[in-house]
Chains A and B, each alone.
Chain A
Amino acid sequence: MTRRTWPLRAWTLVALAGVLLLSACGEGRQSVLNPSGRDALLLYDLARVMFVGALVLWLLVGGLFVYVTRINPREMSRRLAEGLIVGGGVLFPVVLLGGLLVYSLPLMQAPREADEGLRVHITAEQWWWRVEYELPDGGRVTSANELRLPVGARTGLVLNAHRVIHAFWVPALGGKADMIPGRETYLSLLPEAAGTYRGQCAEFCGASHALMAFETVAMAPADFEAWLAAEAQDAAAPQGEDATRGAQVFAREGCGGCHTVRGTQAVGQVGPDLTHVGSRLSLGAGILGVEAPDFASWIAHTETLKPEVAMPSYDHLPPDDLTALAAYLGGLE
């Protein structure tokens, strides 16, 4: 081969390296390549089939091009060339694409299936998630920024948005669905294995679009029932001196105007429900942990941590008050 052909070979190498990377990068709790839900698993198979097919086709077309321009640039038969247009341009793709459609179109149905089981209503806010579990008696248990699902059962998610369009997406469990003000969209998920998966808003929704995530916890059905029963309870009373003072600071600063802590006088509906905030896995819609310093830092620096967020930074609070608030909120398990 002449010097001139190496780049095309290099290209092939790059593509192969890509495939290798693809198989090595199945890590991460927010990855399509690490599927744990039934729909995500089916889509993963579909994706692999298509990737291999695409790679083969790319190599064929590229190889043909290299052949006619470099390896054998002499004149070839005109009939062959015309045959290439008819065969390669029409017959082959018609069959291939038709087959792909027949294979893929029915795969749409599962995530849209009507569920027998649990229904969860999720409303996207700027930039957090309001999550309401529908109980069999029609009542609702309100939570925020975290979704818990029973393993092995299909849960229906009824999606809505308050001010602007968002999109709900847990890559490890299935595809995404937009959340649109004034419309209801629907998506169902069926986790196959217990675990914690990260989800994130996928439709651009303003300044802090990048900072709108949540954790999804798939639990054994019995554990889930127990958790839901606990979640339906009112908030625990503050334990210890710090936490008690924290509850006073919470009331004094008017936090209850926006947040609800069930069983107290805080009944605000503007911000996330905090009744069991201490038992959640993240704070600020998936951007911080739930240790005491996280609470203190979040309350004091909301506007830095999440640009244009509605909650003002409480950086005027003395450190003592922040510690106390952190103790109170952390104790709301």
Chain B
Amino acid sequence: MTRPAPLPVAEGTYPPTEDMLNEPVTSEEQDRGKAELRAAWKTPQGWRYISAVNNTEVGVWYALTAFGFMLLAGLLALAMRVQLAFPGNTFLDADRFNQFFTMHGSAMMFLFAVPMFEAISILLLPAFLGARDMPFPRLSAYGYWCFLIGGCFVMGSLLFDAGPKAGWFMYPPLATKEEGVGPDIWLLGLSFIEVASIAAAVELIVGALKCRPPGMRVNIMPLYAWYVTVVGGMILFAFPPLIAGDFLFELQRSFDWPFFDPERGGDPILWQHLFWIFGHPEVYIVFLPSIAIAAMIVPTVARRPIVGYSWIVLSAVGTGFLSFGLWVHHMFTTGLPQMSLGFFSAASEAVVIPTGIQLFAFIATLMVGRVKMTLPMLWIAGALAIFVAGGLTGVMLAIVPFNWQAHDTYFIVAHLHYTLFGGMVFPVIAGVYYFYPFFAKKLLSERLGRWAFWLIFTGFNVTFLPMHLTGLMGMPRRVFTYPESAGWGTLNLISTLGAFVIAAGFAVFVYDMLRPKSRQGQIPRNPWGAGTLEFAHDIPEEAWGVRSVPYITSRYPLWDQTDLVARMDAGRYYLADAPDHQRETIITSVIDAKPIYVQRVTGPAWITIWAAIFTGGAFIFPTFHIYKPAIVCGAFAVVCVMYWLWTSTARPPKDEMRAAGLGLRLPNYVSGPDAVGWWGMWITMLGDATAFASIVFGFFFYWTARPDFPPVDAGHAVGTWVAAAAVLGVLAWAATLLAREVNRRGKVMLARLALVIAPLSAAAAGGAAWLAVRDLDPVSHVYPAILWALMVWLTVHLCAGIIMQCYCLAGCIFGKVTPRHDADLRNVTLYWHFVALKVVVTTALLGLVPGWLP
């Protein structure tokens, strides 16, 4: 058989010449393009509306849902403030208070802050980048439905008085010993949402890297896109340790494997490490996107390009790195060696520097510009005042001896609210005011906006400024009551009054957003005079995102590139039509944003909702220790996802090439590292590998922290079976790799044979891993328990790998995967590289390491 011809690559003129750009587009061409695009991007009407997957729809739902959860969590806070207004108050009893503060923190973090970042980014990122949509719209929709189901489940538990009540940090042994389903709801419900968050992060990273318009090199992409990339990366490395922790935690709660039980060799401190390795980057995951909003608003207000673009990029990247070296500053009182505490104290101070650089870059931009204060800028100013105060108390708290006094007091409550209101809530509201014309095509009221600002700003300070003092006067956090003799009554009463002022401010804000604005008429297209692409949007609204995908040569194209908007509107640029009535967007290279191919973008679908419902079932049923329906739901979820992938991704195209406009012809299909799917897989696997590394960290943590790990008389994994698992696992990987290579060379039958051998040997590897630990009792001690946990983790990944191999085999047989169109096979091989790594590490830990430990 001959070697198949390679796939075509882009051909034609690039970059476009000035002459080409000046050439007018005929009005027939314009009308045709518009009609085709409207047909392709039509939003489903009526009850079918919820099947929409377009980023502008899903983004708005996502943001509104997150905002709704925020309001609910705020109501919980108000109830707590009422309870604490007077010493010995009885408005809430201890049990309900504890549920409320647990849920307030959990909801604000998991149901508001992180989802809000994702919502705003899904909504805005394509517009910043002049893209039509996110690269994987159905994944966003799936993530949204997962979030909605999980969020309602977790929040709803309060209605049945069954909410978790061990704090949003869920420290064992308190949370492992807690009766009832509360902690299970927290662990499984939020794990479910974390999975959705990671999915969104993957999509956002791919979006920022691969969906930029032609010409938008890395040095001119909007700062928001930089932040999205950094924050997405942080989510990828921060959430997996928590998911690994949840995994161990739920194994202990459901099956009594003693990971955190000191009487059987476990250690509650391991949870604290895993939780805070997630928890501290989480703070920056919340903070950086909000700073990114400020980075979009400040240049507009200054009417100058940002000063120190590279400095801000550096700060974002630097903060991203350093934030992973701070987690122990939440654990300064746990009795770690002084030197260890010192490392984290020093790193916590070091992270101040990039944060400071970002703020000074903003001030520098305002200095060189002619500042015109607008309502969004007022909120940014408030954010700055509050955040700087929170940052300065943060500097204090990073000092270990001071932290020993202030830790777990109201001083911390004050500090964290200063950082989160200043670093998240205020910038996000500023963003709502700033971007409202973009996504609602209306303006918010200047007068109501000022009212809301002053109410929230004043209320905030009245509430939280006194708490610094309450804390230093000795009031611990998370107390449902306090004695009158403590002398904290007045300060608490002031805080409670302030809380109601904040609530009034939010009421004004919500009213302003929701009130009908039909009398407003058509608003100006670029009301703030911004320089970035999102304000090239269409008014009245069009669902196509951008009329044509522009060629970009500047950081502020609306300021610097003359005629840009007119040319975009005329359809002078790329993808100005949709001849097949298919949704498409242009995919470019990562560094220089050269156009590579045209990506088919998926359209409205119900399958994503079904997939989310079944995934929800797979997570929610185990909460109540109902496992069979959970397994059935899990299977259905897998089927739904497979169906959606099979029918709408990486299908061999009808035409190989597409005339993209401006004399450029682009392929419709690519495979391997040029394709977004490959990047999605690669990035997901980094996160997955991090979760695995966290469990491996657990293994070594037990070894350093516990003298009885492994216990002297411990049974070990069976060497022969461990070796068998290693060999078979590597064989499965090799067969997959072989399939990719021979398929590419056109030897289809051989590829199919390899794809039959691969899943068989993967299944055998899983079986061998199970046989290796079968005789150990995971309930007896943490050593057998962690070996079992590693085995379970590996087996689950082998199962997923088997499904993928079978998917490719089916693709080979039914013509979805051909020697030229092998994207699926390449992505699956990439997955298997990581599985092979897991096989090697797991079998080494099972079979070799216990013998080496001194």
Contact between A and B in the complex (any CB pair below 8 Å): yes
Residues of A with C-beta under 8 A to B165 = 207
Residue A138 at the B interface, CB < 8 A?
no
Partner of A178, one of B174, B333, B364, B368: B333
A185 touching B334 in the complex, CB below 8 Å, given contacts A32-B473, A101-B349: yes
Say whether A140 faces chain B, with CB atoms less than 8 Å apart: no
The A95-147 residues at the B interface (CB cut-off 8 A) are: 97, 100-101, 104-105, 107-109, 111-112
User: Is B368 a contact partner of A97 (Cβ separation < 8 A)?
Assistant: no
Is B469's CB under 8 angstroms from A21's CB?
A: yes
- Does any Cβ of A come within 8 Å of B307's Cβ? yes
Q: Is the CB of A68 within 8 A of B366?
A: yes
Which residues of A sit under 8 angstroms from B353, Cβ to Cβ? 89-90, 93-94, 97
Residues of B within 8 A of A4 (CB): 373
Q: Interface readout for B322-353 with A: 1 if CB under 8 Å, 0 if not? A: 00000000000111001001100110011011
Partner-binding segment picked from A55-63, A251-259, A311-319: A55-63
Stretch from B400-408, B515-523, B733-741, B763-771 contacting the other chain: B400-408
B-side interface residues, number (CB < 8 Å): 89
Q: Which residue of B lies closest to A170 (CB)?
A: B474
B308 contact from A18, A28, A85, Cβ within 8 A:
A85
Q: Which of A43-51, A226-234, A267-275, A320-328 contacts B (4 or more CB under 8 A)?
A: A43-51
Please count how many residues in chain A sit with their CB below 8 Å of the partner chain's CB atoms: 93
Q: A62-B385, A202-B476 are in contact. Are A28 and B368 (CB under 8 A)?
A: no
Residue B307 contacts which of A78, A90, A94, A180 (CB distance < 8 angstroms)? A78
Residues of B within 8 A of A244 (CB): none
Chain A residues positioned under 8 Å from B356 (CB to CB) = 88-89, 93
Specify the chain B residue showing the minimal Cβ separation from A42.
B401
Contact for B370 among A75, A97, A211, CB less than 8 A: A75
User: Which residues of chain B are near A109, meaning CB under 8 Å?
Assistant: 338
Cβ A82 vs Cβ B308 within 8 A = yes
Contact of B478 among A75, A209, A287 (CB under 8 A): A209
B354 to chain A, nearest CB (A): 8
Asked if residues B396 and A54 are in contact (CB atoms below 8 Å), the reply is yes
Q: Is A310 an interface residue (CB 8 A)?
A: no
In the bound complex, residues from chain A placing their C-beta under 8 Å from that of B472 are: 22, 31-33, 47
Contact with A along B600-615 (1 / 0, CB 8 A): 0000000000000000
B345 in contact with A75 (CB, 8 Å):
no
* Nearest A residue (CB) for B342: A105
Question: Given A28-B473, A32-B405, A169-B476, A204 and B166 touching (CB < 8 A)?
Answer: yes
Whole-angstrom CA separation of A70 from B381 in the bound complex: 11
**Contact (Cβ within 8 A) A182 B473:** no
Find the residue from A43, A78, A180 having the highest chain B CB count within 10 A: A180
Among B167, B267, B368, B369, the most chain A Cβ lie within 10 Å of the Cβ of: B368
**Contacting pair B363 A84 (CB below 8 A):** yes
Smallest Cβ distance from A161 to chain B, in angstroms? 9
Report yes or no: A207 in contact with B98, Cβ–Cβ below 8 A: yes
Q: Could you say which residues of chain A place their CB within 8 Å of the CB of B385?
A: 8, 11, 62, 65
Stretch at the interface among B222-230, B480-488, B666-674: B480-488
Contact of A81 among B262, B346, B364, B372 (CB under 8 A): B364
Minimum CB–CB distance from B483 to chain A (whole Å) comes to 7
A47-B469 contact, Cβ under 8 Å, with A165-B171, A165-B268, A201-B476: no
CB contact list, B643-668 vs A, under 8 A: none
Complex partner residue of B401 from A62, A104, A163, A178, CB under 8 angstroms: A104
Residue-wise interface mask of B (170-193) relative to A, using a CB-CB cutoff of 8 A (1 in contact, 0 not): 010110010000000000000000
Contact with A along B73-110 (1 / 0, CB 8 A): 00000000000000000000111001000000000000
Q: Which of B268, B389, B466 contacts A182 (CB 8 A)?
A: B268
Enumerate chain B residues within 8 angstroms of A307, measured Cβ to Cβ: 93-95
Closest chain-B Cβ to A26's Cβ sits at a distance in Å of 9
Nearest neighbor of B307 in chain A, beta-carbon distance:
A81
Question: Is B363 in contact with A68, judged by CB distance below 8 angstroms?
Answer: yes
Contact check, A33 vs B473: say whether CB atoms are below 8 A apart: yes
A42 neighbours in B (Cβ, 8 Å): 401
Residues of A close to B487: CB separation below 8 A: 27-28
Contact B335 A177 (CB under 8 A): yes
Distance of A47 from chain B, by nearest CB (Å) = 6
A194 CB to nearest B CB, Å: 20
Query: How far is A85 from B365 in the complex, measured between Cα atoms in Å?
Result: 10
A236 CB within 8 Å of chain B? no
Q: How far is it, in angstroms, between the C-alpha of A207 and the C-alpha of B480 when the chains are bound?
A: 9
Contacts of A33 in B (CB 8 A): 472-473
A74, B370: Cβ atoms closer than 8 Å: yes
Query: Within 8 Å of chain A (Cβ to Cβ): is B409?
Result: yes
Is B384 an interface residue when CB atoms closer than 8 A count as contact? yes
Q: Are A104 and B400 in contact (CB under 8 A)?
A: yes
**Contact status B367-A68, CB under 8 Å:** yes
Q: Contact: A105 with B400, CB < 8 Å?
A: yes
Expressed in whole angstroms, the Cα–Cα distance for A101 and B395 within the complex equals 10
Q: Does A237 contact B (CB under 8 A)?
A: no
Residues of chain B with a CB closer than 8 A to A210's CB: 94, 476, 478-482
Among candidates B174, B341, B366, B483, residue contacting A108 with C-beta atoms closer than 8 Å: B341
Which chain A residues numbered 149 to 170 have a C-beta less than 8 Å away from chain B?
Answer: 163-165, 167, 169
Q: How far is the CB of A35 from chain B (nearest CB, A)?
A: 9
Residues of B within 8 A of A202 (CB): 333, 407-409, 476-477
The docked-state distance in angstroms from the alpha carbon of A207 to that of B478 is 10
**CB contact under 8 A between A69 and B366, given known A104-B400, A185-B335:** yes
Min distance, Cβ B276 to any Cβ of chain A, angstroms: 14
A114 to chain B, nearest CB (A): 13
Q: Report if A260 contacts B (CB, 8 A).
A: no
Q: Smallest distance from the beta carbon of A70 to chain B beta carbons, Å?
A: 8
Q: CB distance A50 to B402 under 8 Å?
A: yes
CB of A224 within 8 Å of the partner chain: no
A78: min CB distance to chain B, Å: 5
Q: Which of A39, A164, A207 has the most CB of B within 10 A?
A: A164
Are B352 and A97 in contact, with the CB atoms below 8 A?
yes
Q: Shortest distance in angstroms between B318's beta carbon and chain A's nearest beta carbon? A: 11
* B359 interfacial contact with A, CB 8 Å: yes
Q: Are B483 and A287 in contact (CB under 8 A)?
A: yes
- How far does the alpha carbon of A61 sit from the alpha carbon of B350 in the complex, in Å? 19
Q: Which of A46, A50, A68 contacts B371 (CB 8 A)?
A: A68
Alpha-carbon gap, A58 to B461, bound state (A): 15
Residue of B nearest to A211 (CB): B481
A30 on the B face (CB < 8 A): yes
Given contacts A174-B404, A308-B94, contact A186 B335 (CB under 8 A): yes
- Any A CB within 8 A of the CB of B388: yes
Binary contact readout B532-546 vs A (1 if CB under 8 angstroms, 0 otherwise): 000000000000000
C-alpha spacing A209/B174, complex, angstroms: 11
Q: Are A183 and B93 in contact (CB under 8 A)?
A: no
Docked Cα-Cα span, A39 to B400, in Å, equals 13
Would B311 and A89 count as touching, CB distance under 8 A? yes
Complex CA gap A57/B359 in Å reads 13
A18 with B465, Cβ < 8 A, contacts A50-B399, A203-B408 known: yes
In the assembled complex, B713 has its CB within 8 A of some CB on chain A: no
Q: Complex Cα distance A177/B292, Å? A: 38
Chain B residues, CB < 8 A from A76: 367-368
Any A CB within 8 A of the CB of B506 = no
Q: Which residues of A contact B (CB under 8 A)?
A: 4, 7-8, 11, 14, 18, 21-22, 25, 27-28, 30-33, 39-40, 42-43, 46-47, 50-51, 54, 57-58, 61-62, 64-65, 68-70, 73-78, 80-82, 84-85, 88-90, 93-94, 97, 100-101, 104-105, 107-109, 111-112, 163-165, 167, 169, 171, 174-178, 180-186, 198, 200-211, 287, 307-308
What 10 pairs across the A-B complex have the smallest Cβ distances? A182-B262, A175-B404, A30-B474, A210-B479, A185-B335, A81-B364, A89-B357, A54-B392, A73-B371, A89-B360
25 CB < 8 A contacts A-B: A7-B454, A28-B474, A42-B401, A65-B363, A68-B371, A82-B364, A85-B364, A90-B357, A97-B352, A97-B353, A104-B345, A165-B171, A165-B173, A175-B403, A176-B404, A177-B333, A177-B404, A178-B334, A178-B335, A182-B266, A186-B335, A203-B333, A209-B98, A210-B482, A307-B93
